[in-house]
Structure 1
Amino acid sequence: MTSQDDTHAAYREIDRWDRGVGWIGRPDEKMQRASHALVGDEGGVWVIDPVDARGLDDLLAEFGEVVGVVVGLDRHKRDAARVANRHDVPVFIPEWMSGVAAKLDAPVERFAGTLGESGYEAFTIRDASFPPWQEVGLYHREDGTLVIPEAVGTVSFFCAPGERLGVHPMLRPVPPRDALSGFAPDRILVGHGAGVTTDAAAALRDALDGARRNLPGAYGKALKELLS
């Protein structure tokens, strides 16, 4: 098992509930990259899109033994290999996701339909070449937890004024309604920012319905923040 590098920053905890927890690995980052640990139906811990941080292993140990690390977006390799190697587990990648496995210095396993024995159903959010984007969502029906790595987020860059949850700026012209509109989750965990745990289904519906309508406000706000 490799050791944690003490030079990593301390994390900020988000999204804790009885079957999981999230954290922001670099709290000072503008994009607020978020990662999550989910307790599966068989008790193992699944780590989603991890950004490593000082003290992370102690946090994960509160929920059980790590059984796998997951890459949910082709651009979210982050520290997946590092965390997987430290816990001697594979990195799990959807069977249809390309261009990721070869870039990971860790054992890889493919999955489809469900994520191992976690109880989380896997579904394709986007698999497109323009813009290049491969993203898998995870949903636990009994727990009401929906994981969306990139298509929506809560960080300011994603949200138009007044939005709690916003569609990624690149997807606002073509929001992923077909992939996401069929869910009514109790909580939504995202890859950028803290999750939505109150009226999550309404927040998702509003984000999808308002993606195009709120596009000018979202783009204006994002441009202002990029220039600040």
Structure 2
Amino acid sequence: MPAKVTDPATGYEEIDRWNGGVGWIAHPEETMERASHALATDEGVWLVDPVDADGIDDLLGEFGEVAGVVVLSNHHTRDAAVFANRHGVPVTLPASMTDVAGSLDAPVAYLDVGGTVGDYELLEVADSGPAWREYALYDGETLVVSESVGGADYLRVGDERLGVMLLRRLTPPREAFADLSPERVLSGHGPGVHEDAAPALAEALTYSRRRFPSALLANGRSQLRTVAAAIRT
């Protein structure tokens, strides 16, 4: 199984469908399980950390016209510029991610923490300078997390439904999500959780440090492969 697939996707696997949108994985065969989401709002459809795939515009068309593209991590530019140019919209970046704009061949707009895209508020998850900037979106029901928390196999250990990525298990983003009680949690890696999502998120954050040794043993090699693949590409 490749850590990351860089060839164009000839299809996709649909995930995370609910009344307010849909998710997809363009390369389900890769370890990273890079997941993308389309959020249906009153403004139109907002695409989050998207990866392109043949036929994906037919899927998006079920929810309306694309209103914008938003990138939630400085490591998740993915195909944001491709979608932005195709639909004639800018790529919206958190205001701190000015260093990412140069890598995007598309118009760029900036959004402050607390600002909104559609019904979703931008939350800060981590800002450690150029090495790691990560944000999330939340509308009171749906939480969209970019990197630190997810449902991909290499993020979870034991019977976890959501896991914290190995590089963040010792410093999990508890403060960022402390006051939230989402009905569903979507992630940039792997399928989301749509039932009892708030308890699943709380468990992942509460026990991430305690489960670090188990996660290191189970997922250490996979995590290293994904990091290496991300750096190479």
Matches within 5 A, 1:115-134: 115-116=116-117, 118-129=118-129, 132-134=131-133
Match of 2:72 in 1: 72
Match of 1:135 in 2: 134
Structure 2-normalised TM-score?
Answer: 0.89
Contact 1:43/1:64 (<8 A) preserved: no
CA distance in 2, matches of 1:48, 1:206: 25
Q: What's the offset of the Cα at 1:98? A: 3.2
Match of 1:36 in 2: 37
- 135, 160, 171: which is aligned to 1:163? 160
Match of 2:3 in 1: none
Residue 185 to residue 227, structure 1, CA distance change in 2 (3 Å): closer
Q: After superposition, what is the alpha-carbon deviation per residue over 1:72-105, rounded to whole angstroms, capped at 9, x for unaligned?
A: 1000000000011011110000112231111100
More helix by share: 2
Q: Which runs of 5+ in 1 are unaligned?
A: 1-5
Residue 220 to residue 138, structure 1, CA distance change in 2 (3 Å): same
Match of 1:196 in 2: 193
Q: After superposition, what is the alpha-carbon deviation per residue over 1:23-73, rounded to whole angstroms, capped at 9, x for unaligned?
A: 001111111100000011x24000000000010000001000001001110
Q: What's the offset of the Cα at 1:161? A: 1.5
Match of 2:214 in 1: 217
Q: How many residues of Structure 1 are paired with residues of Structure 2 in the alignment? A: 218
- The aligned amino acid for 1:145 is T
Q: What's the offset of the Cα at 1:218? A: 0.6
Match of 1:84 in 2: 84
Contact 2:48/2:71 (<8 A) preserved: yes
CA distance in 2, matches of 1:168, 1:60: 29
Structure 1-normalised TM-score?
Answer: 0.91
Q: What's the offset of the Cα at 1:107? A: 0.3
Q: SS at the partner of 2:194?
A: coil
Runs of 4+ that moved beyond 6 A: none
Contact 2:137/2:143 (<8 A) preserved: yes
Match of 1:26 in 2: 27
RMSD: 1.8
CA distance in 2, matches of 1:23, 1:173: 29
CA distance in 1, matches of 2:175, 2:105: 34
CA distance in 2, matches of 1:167, 1:150: 9
CA distance in 2, matches of 1:86, 1:193: 25
> Equivalent pairs: percent with the same residue?
50
